[in-house]
Amino acid sequence: MADKCEIVDSCPFFEIFGTAKSRLKKEYVEKICNDKSKCKRIGYVNVNEKKPPDNMSPTGRLF
């Protein structure tokens, strides 16, 4: 089983772009956040050793 992201509820991207009940957040959680190895935000931290921009989505797209 994949590792679910432990910070999804406090993710800065969702604090800006998605409320707890938004369709956007539900879709991202279903497709990306339930398997944190797919999250480009976490990958960004691993590569750059700093947090990604708040407007970077879990897919890596900047809004």
pLDDT for residue 15:
87
In a domain, 63, yes or no: no
In a domain, 25, yes or no: yes
Cα–Cα distance between 35 and 55 in angstroms, integer?
A: 20
In a domain, 55, yes or no: no
Cα–Cα distance between 30 and 48 in angstroms, integer?
A: 26
In a domain, 19, yes or no: yes
Look at the chain and report how many structural domains it folds into.
1
Q: Which domain holds residue 13?
A: 8-48
Percent of the chain exceeding pLDDT 90 equals 57
In a domain, 57, yes or no: no
Cα–Cα distance between 21 and 19 in angstroms, integer?
A: 5
DSSP 35: S
Low-confidence residues in the chain, pLDDT < 50: none
Tell me: the pLDDT tens digits for 37-52? 999 999 999 999 999 9
